[in-house]
Structure 1
Amino acid sequence: MTVLTLVQGDITREHADALVNAANSSLLGGGGVDGAIHRRGGPEILAECRRLRASRYGRGLPVGQAVATTAGRLDARWVIHTVGPVFSREEDRSELLASCHRASLRVADELGARTVAFPAISTGVYRWPLDDAARIAVETVRNTTTAVEEVVFVLFDGPAYEAFARRLG
């Protein structure tokens, strides 16, 4: 059974086998978690992302999928990049957000990762409501069969931490 824990802080400072990056589909860096991971991780991450774009992901990484690269200078072995959906009041995209978590855990299993750190995917510029994102993340991780021993949700601020704490109960 996978142990779920919470930490309030900066995911780029977290020690884990794999850090999940809330990436944009270009895989070439951006704002928020994506930009922070690329900045702190260094050019090795960007170089691998460019190779992925030149080969398998010429049009970018699709929403809900995941792919791994080196972690560069981060205190991890790998970064698992996943593209979360933009929140919409008109269209239920919950399954895509759940897919980000399942796909990331599947990639972690393929890599042999035992500890994985997740941010609050899609809650920044993609505007997913925190309480709903926390519900989807926690339920999905709890209900996904994986060899990962520990999942740490690394939440940037107090409101995100509290939303996830309510879901962990």
Structure 2
Amino acid sequence: MDFTIGAVSVIITKGDITEVEADAIVNAANSYLEHGGGVAGAIVRKGGQIIQEESREWVRRYGPVPVGGVAVTSAGRLKAKYVIHAVGPRCSVEPIEKLGEAVRNALLKADELGLSSIAFPAISTGIFGCPYEDAAYQMAKTIRDIAPSLKYVRKILVVLYGDEAYRKFEEVFKKVLS
């Protein structure tokens, strides 16, 4: 499913984010950038241990990434140039609006780096427990609001793993972006 916001193309797709060709892949990260399971674990397994090593170095240098914040590492063996580690909320602990903040900060970081494409997973919907519908709404609303101001980013992919996630995101994105 494709949408257009000004000069930016937004594509909702089902698949494996580690296989996507984009300048940056967004990782659904925790504040300490320890990439054990879920999307984070898959990114390190596919991209290589260098991503975890650079993440630990980032935390040593700057401290934990706040909820809603981002950090950047190389992408190792992935097809991307960078991994933008976005820390979404734990839905039983932090407000869901922090997910919008994480998406906004990832898009601004990609634009700052002069990147033309970025791929997002369903941030905070795994172990952090956010419902697909709520996460999709935060992502769609944030993308809608920020896309017109992006200078370099021209393609935003939302890569969903599984039928249920895809259906919910498609439904919500249609409402928010159509």
Aligning the two structures, in what range does the TM-score lie when normalised by the shorter sequence? over 0.9
Q: Which residue of 2 aligns with 1:86?
A: 90
Residues in 2 aligned to 1:95 and 1:130: alpha-carbon distance in whole angstroms: 14
SS of 2:62's equivalent in the other structure is: coil
| Gap regions ≥5 residues in structure 1 | none
Deviant stretches of 4+, over 6 Å = none
| Gap regions ≥5 residues in structure 2 | 1-5
Q: How big is the shift at 1:168?
A: 2.5
TM-score of the superposed pair, with normalisation by structure 2? 0.89
Of 141, 145, 152, the match for 2:157: 152
Q: Deviations over 1:105-134 (max 9, x none)?
A: 111011111100000000011110111111
Q: What is the identity, as a one-letter code, of the residue corresponding to 2:69?
A: Q
Residues in 2 aligned to 1:161 and 1:56: alpha-carbon distance in whole angstroms: 35
* C-alpha RMSD of the superposition: 1.2
User: How many residue pairs were aligned?
Assistant: 165
Please state if 1:125 is matched with 2:131: no
Q: Which residue of 1 aligns with 2:101?
A: 99
Q: What pairs with 1:1-169 in structure 2 (closer than 5 Å)? A: 1=6, 2-57=8-63, 60-88=64-92, 93-144=95-146, 145-147=149-151, 148-169=153-174
SS of 2:83's equivalent in the other structure is: strand
Residues in 1 aligned to 2:30 and 2:173: alpha-carbon distance in whole angstroms: 27
Residues in 2 aligned to 1:132 and 1:158: alpha-carbon distance in whole angstroms: 17
Q: How big is the shift at 1:32?
A: 0.3
Q: How big is the shift at 1:67?
A: 1.3
Residues in 2 aligned to 1:36 and 1:92: alpha-carbon distance in whole angstroms: 25
TM-score of the superposed pair, with normalisation by structure 1? 0.93
SS of 2:72's equivalent in the other structure is: strand
Residues in 1 aligned to 2:98 and 2:129: alpha-carbon distance in whole angstroms: 14
